[in-house]
Amino acid sequence: MAFHPSVYPLCTAMANEWREMRHHLEHLAASLCADEHFAARHIDRLQLFDALAQQADESAAMLDRLSEGMCSTDALGLVRLDLLQQRLRQVLGELT
């Protein structure tokens, strides 16, 4: 199924938004970790920043692949985070 031509640059723009979000998350996490006492008290919560950054990266990469015209199942097969891949596969399964 071909998409409207506007979808491809929109996917690229959304991928860039995810990358910018990752940058801000990393900057915020670094700022919070600068305080050793705060970081020690909240290490479990701070690890969530890394997980969110990874999810943003994978989402951006997926959007890049789609913007290049890769079919969704092939693009999804390259997602490196298992839980994200499972959730997205479930969506594709619901569409078929």
**pLDDT (tens digit, 9 = 90+) per residue, 25-74?**
999 999 999 999 999 999 999 999 999 999 999 999 999 999 999 999 99
**pLDDT for 5:** 84
**pLDDT for 1:** 58
Q: Phi and psi dihedrals of 53, rounded to 5?
A: -65, -40
**pLDDT for 6:** 87
Predicted TM-score of the model (pTM): 0.86
**pLDDT for 32:** 93
**pLDDT for 2:** 66
